[in-house]
Structure 1
């Protein structure tokens, strides 16, 4: 076990309460953003959670992983569906590393001229 994800989720939520006191407007806006997500009904809960978990991988957000893994379980996501979504995240990260490597080579080449 890499992390105790249920414990991490609970600790994150508790720690988040400390943010809402000094910045209630920002916390309310964040909660409203989350509540509005998916409100047009185009994607079902399973698909939204699969996307959220793939994005959580690409942004390296442990709190997001904990929250959306719990929500994915509740939405009925299967291990096979999750594996496919995470495979997409892996492929995109590799693609992004390739593109940014090309950018580095381009930048490096431009400094030769400077």
Structure 2
């Protein structure tokens, strides 16, 4: 398994280096990352649940590490995290089903060409 605290530390270390090489990119990322907190329509807990679900669907261990840490800090209940992960699982399966129909369409179209 991944060492989550180490992952956070390693990414933060490299982000410092990256920010010296491309500071505008990191400033832009920070602006986007903080946008939801500025409006706070969803609330921090809901944003973290969404972030965890998206992190699963994009297979981003760094995202999982940072957003899991924030969810723990916010006291997000395990049951809510499990439900958010269930949504992610459903969407991944749903995406596979949907894109399977694209394959069928491509095969049919290419056979006719």
TM-score, length-scaled by structure 1? 0.94
User: 1:22: which partner in 2?
Assistant: 21
Aligned pair 1:31/2:68, yes or no? no
3-state SS of 1:37 partner: helix
Kindly tell me the number of residue pairs found equivalent between the two proteins.
113
**How much has 1:106 moved relative to structure 2?**
0.4
- For residue 59 of structure 2, what is the aligned residue in structure 1? 60
Report the structure, 1 or 2, having the larger helix content: 2
Which SS does the other structure have where 2:69 is aligned?
helix
Moved over 2 A (4+): none
How large is the RMSD of aligned CA atoms in angstroms? Answer: 0.9
Distance 2:85 2:54 in 1: 9
- Counterparts of 2:37 and 2:102, CA distance in 1: 35
Query: How far apart are 1:37 and its partner, in Å?
Result: 2.2
| Structure-1 residue corresponding to 2:98 | 99
Residue by residue over 1:18-40, the C-alpha shift from the partner in whole angstroms, topping out at 9 and shown as x without a partner, is 21111111111111111222321
